[in-house]
């Protein structure tokens, strides 16, 4: 019984291989038609894979931009987020300012295992000067504590961060962004220990931040960081509004840290149990999640466009296969007269359609990846290899080949051998 099963299996494999051989022979004998059919399928798959790859590139670029601003962090602030994407607006309320004393009280009370930092905007349009060199008036100046570098995901390329003594006493020291360092000192001069002008004050450079790229037109590269107490003193203005930045030691405890921070800051703000929180807690990826949520609808629309393109390609392939059946009627009659079964004829034409679709699919996937990664080139993000869409493309091509080839294959298998041999 086992030998019979093995023999049947070997015979089936041999029949499949023979059908594949015949299908490849038929494909090679109609080179021009095969190339045109492959191109029809390739265009459909290229549209689908290309659009979806481009969307993946956009998603990766968004995630990269927000990751470099500090992953797994959240902030307590009075100003709410106000974002409009398309026709939908995402907005949180603005509340009364967070004072320096309130921020300090929170730091003293918050005992959750996390890094906590304070920050305050001095100005977003400063001109930084060094001797005769100066930047454009688009440099952001921010007062921070030393923990800010960890909560914001910043690294020091040269020098060091603020010491506790410099923080507490508001010393005139500065850490500058990579682009600011290049504009003021060029590539050959060492910025460390040089005196720069920020507004009307003189500051000694003690560090240069590692480049993060031009996130949203500026970012850390185009900024100067000063001790928070220095900004509170020399850039003083009414109702200065501080931001508290928090990064849990364990990223899995982010939600617990948010709950703990909200409870403590409610105490700092003297809120009663029934009072609503008069401050906002924003996670670092909140805006990224909003953008990605809206891209989801673009993905759906792009998928539908790609599928419609593939339906057109499938109709074109079916038409070409029907023409092939008509042209090869005498060949089909000869094969049947020599003993070929209807199922064998059907398999031959199905294999032919599937092989053509797979060749077109592979070509379309290759061009689709290249077309989609043009977005990666524009946004400066890494090359994206969409393994999911590649696998989906192969499956879709198989389905298109099976669907488009089935009707012509059935038509070919049902031909009467006598009538087929007499066909002109």
Q: Are residues 338 and 388 both part of a single domain?
A: yes
Q: Are residues 139 and 184 both part of a single domain?
A: yes
The token pair at 323 is 């023409």
Which range marks the domain in which residue 241 is found?
A: 74-283
Average pLDDT, the chain: 78
| Selection from 224-228, 341-345, 419-423 with the highest mean pLDDT | 224-228
When pLDDT is cut at 50, 70 and 90, the band that residue 85 belongs to is: very low
CB 417 within 8 A of CB 337: yes
Alpha helices in 141-281 (DSSP H): 148-151, 164-169, 178-185, 228-234, 254-268
Q: Are residues 139 and 247 both part of a single domain?
A: yes
pLDDT at 10: 62
Q: Are residues 177 and 214 both part of a single domain?
A: yes
When pLDDT is cut at 50, 70 and 90, the band that residue 196 belongs to is: very high
How crowded is the C-beta side of 64, counted as CA atoms within 13 Å?
Answer: 17
CB 205 within 8 A of CB 171: no
Strand partners, 207: 159, 175
In a domain, 1, yes or no: no
The token pair at 320 is 């070409």
Q: Pick the more confident residue, 157 or 46.
A: 157
Q: Are residues 330 and 264 both part of a single domain?
A: no
Q: Are residues 122 and 259 both part of a single domain?
A: yes
Q: Is the pLDDT at 16 greater than 80, yes or no? A: no
Q: Are residues 377 and 316 both part of a single domain?
A: yes
The fraction of the chain above a pLDDT of 90, given in percent, is 17
- What is the number of domains present in the chain? 2
The token pair at 154 is 């910043």
pLDDT tens-digit map of 105-119? 999 999 999 999 999
Residue matched to tokens 């019984």 = 1
Q: What sign results for the dihedral spanned by CA atoms 223, 229, 234, 238?
A: positive
Instruction: Please state the rounded mean pLDDT for residues 127-152.
Output: 90
Tell me the C-alpha to C-alpha distance, in Å, between residue 138 and each of 141, 217, 240: 10, 10, 21
Q: Are residues 235 and 307 both part of a single domain?
A: no
CA Rg value for the chain: 33
pLDDT tens-digit map of 283-316? 766 555 656 666 677 777 777 777 777 777 777 7
CB 52 within 8 A of CB 389: yes
Q: Are residues 251 and 399 both part of a single domain?
A: no
pLDDT at 83: 43
CA–CA separation, 285 vs 177, rounded Å?
23
Q: Count other C-beta atoms under 10 Å from residue 111's C-beta.
A: 8
What pTM did the predictor assign? 0.57
pLDDT tens-digit map of 370-414? 887 777 677 666 677 777 777 877 888 888 878 877 787 777 777
Residue matched to tokens 């759906």 = 300
Q: Are residues 236 and 301 both part of a single domain?
A: no
């Amino acid at each position: 019984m086992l030998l019979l099963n093995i023999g049947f299996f070997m015979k089936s494999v041999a029949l499949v291989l023979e059908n594949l051989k015949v299908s490849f022979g038929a494909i090679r004998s109609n080179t021009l038609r095969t190339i045109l059919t492959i191109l029809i399928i390739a265009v459909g798959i290229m549209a689908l894979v290309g659009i979806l790859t481009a969307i993946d590139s956009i998603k990766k670029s968004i995630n990269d931009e927000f990751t470099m601003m500090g992953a797994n962090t959240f902030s307590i602030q009075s100003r709410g987020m106000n974002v409009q994407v398309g026709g939908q607006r995402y907005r949180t309320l603005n509340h009364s300012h967070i004072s320096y004393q309130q921020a300090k009280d929170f730091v003293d009370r918050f005992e959750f295992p996390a890094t906590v930092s304070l920050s305050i905007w001095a100005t977003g349009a400063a001109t930084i000067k060094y001797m005769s060199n100066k930047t454009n008036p688009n440099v952001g100046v921010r007062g921070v504590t030393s923990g800010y570098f960890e909560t914001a995901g910043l690294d020091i390329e040269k020098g060091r961060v603020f010491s506790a003594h410099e923080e507490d006493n508001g010393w005139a020291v500065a850490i500058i962004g990579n682009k600011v360092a290049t504009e003021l000192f060029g590539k050959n001069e060492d910025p460390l220990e040089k005196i720069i002008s920020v507004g009307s004050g003189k500051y000694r450079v003690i560090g240069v931040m590692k480049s993060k790229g031009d996130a949203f037109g500026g970012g850390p590269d185009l900024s100067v960081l000063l001790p928070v107490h220095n900004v509170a003193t020399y850039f003083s203005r009414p109702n200065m509004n501080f931001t508290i930045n928090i990064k849990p030691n364990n990223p899995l405890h982010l939600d617990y840290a948010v709950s703990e921070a909200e409870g403590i800051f409610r105490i700092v703000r003297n809120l009663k149990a029934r009072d609503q929180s008069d401050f906002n807690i924003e996670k670092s990826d909140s805006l990224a999640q909003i953008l990605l949520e809206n891209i989801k609808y673009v993905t759906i629309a792009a998928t539908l466009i790609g599928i419609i393109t593939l339906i057109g390609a499938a109709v074109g392939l079916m038409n070409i296969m029907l023409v092939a059946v008509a042209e090869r009627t005498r060949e089909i009659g000869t094969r049947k007269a020599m003993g070929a079964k209807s199922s064998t004829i059907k398999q031959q034409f199905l294999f032919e359609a599937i092989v053509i679709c797979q060749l077109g699919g592979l070509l379309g996937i290759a061009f689709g990846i290249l077309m989609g990664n043009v977005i990666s080139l524009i946004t400066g993000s890494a090359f994206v290899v969409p393994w999911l869409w590649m696998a989906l493309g192969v499956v879709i091509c198989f389905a298109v080949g099976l669907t488009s080839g089935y009707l012509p294959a059935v038509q070919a298998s049902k031909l009467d051998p006598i009538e087929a041999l007499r066909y002109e």
